Amino acid sequence: MSDDQWVPPTVLLAVDLVILTLRESRLQVLLVERGIEPYQGALALPGGFLNHAEEDLPAAAHRELAEEAGLDADHLHLEQLGVYGTPGRDPRGRVVSVAYLAIAPRLPEPVAGTDAAHARWTPTEQVLPDPTRLAFDHHRIVTDGVERARTKLESSALATAFCGPTFTITELQAVYEAVWGTPLDPRNFYRKVQGVAGFIVPTGRTRRTETGRPAKLFRPGPRQALHPAMTRPTVLSNEEKPQT
């Protein structure tokens, strides 16, 4: 600290994106096939270095979102997930990556012939169990992103961000079931979700399905913080099982 010649080291700064959506009733994450070394040919999160030294971090995240997934900011939740900067995580040198979590309603297949051509949706249930499937430390980042999404679903109105502008309660339930990976009781969910003030508001319209009673349509309400919170069914560890 008292070395007069010392100058602080510099690092390369990147953003990585965990983009989650719901397709085929499953939670899916956008992955790209890497075209260059390192990890050429492997699957990785979309992302990249800052464009220039003055680019803002959220701006870089939005730019990558547009470039690699063809997504504009509409209906889009974007939040910082964390920093991943272990020395050696990138063979090119000291790269520190800021991960962002993006959540979007039902998204289309990436369009061929664009920058997003090598992108593909992959169910998280295929990615999470295998830590070696992704390049760099991206498996850890995806794991953290999914866990963040699960937690946020409990206490915030984030679930509606997975839906279109209007939705049925059953559709909303499907979001919770897909993200949490647990089945929920439809009747309890129905009343529960309506009892949370400001979470969803009825539109007065209904939506016909192939068969069965038409369902009322709702849109997102004004509330971001949910009271009472949605409760994720607790997977009981051995220690907390009731003693019979």
Residues that bind DNA (CB under 7 A): 168-170, 185-188, 190-192, 194-195, 206, 208-216, 227-229, 231, 233-234, 242
Nearest to 223 by CA among 157, 172, 136, 147: 157
Kindly state the smallest distance separating residue 105's Cβ from a copy of itself, in Å: 26
- Calpha distance 241→244 (Å, rounded): 9
Q: Which does 49 bind (CB under 5 to 8 A by kind): DNA, a copy of itself, none?
A: a copy of itself
Q: Whose Cβ is closer to a copy of itself: residue 195's or residue 214's?
A: 195
Q: CA-based angle 118:122:123, to the nearest 5?
A: 175
Site string for a copy of itself, 1-30 (x = CB under 8 A): x------xxxxxxx----------------
d(CA 161, CA 7): 45
Q: Least Å distance between CB 165 and DNA?
A: 17
Which of these, 165, 131, 138, lies nearest to 32 by C-alpha position? 138
- What the block records as the tokens of 178 is 């897909």
Which x/- pattern over 63-92 shows residues binding a copy of itself (rule: CB under 8 A)? ----x------------x-xx-xxx-----
- 8 Å CB contact between 217 and 167: yes
| CB-nearer residue toward a copy of itself: 211 or 234 | 234
Amino acid at 107: L
How many angstroms separate the CA atoms of 237 and 243, rounded? 13
- Choice between 11 and 225, CB closer to DNA: 225
- What letter does residue 125 receive in the DSSP assignment? H
The structure tokens listed for 5 are 């010649």
CB of 70 to a copy of itself, least distance (A): 14
- The partner in contact with residue 73, picked from a copy of itself, DNA, none with C-beta cut-offs of 5 to 8 angstroms by kind, is none
Angle between helices 138-155 and 169-180 in degrees, nearest 10: 140
Q: How far is the CB of 172 from DNA (least distance, A)?
A: 10
Q: How far apart are the first and last CA of the chain?
A: 61
**Neighbouring residues of 193: CB distance < 8 A, sequence distance ≥ 6:** 169, 172, 173, 199, 200, 230
State which of residues 42, 55, 189, 192 lies at the interface with a copy of itself (CB under 8 A).
55
Q: Mask 87-116, x = binds a copy of itself (CB under 8 A)?
A: x-----xx-x-x----------------x-
Residues that bind a copy of itself (CB under 8 A): 1, 8-14, 49-57, 67, 80, 82-83, 85-87, 93-94, 96, 98, 115, 197-198, 222-223, 227, 234, 239-240
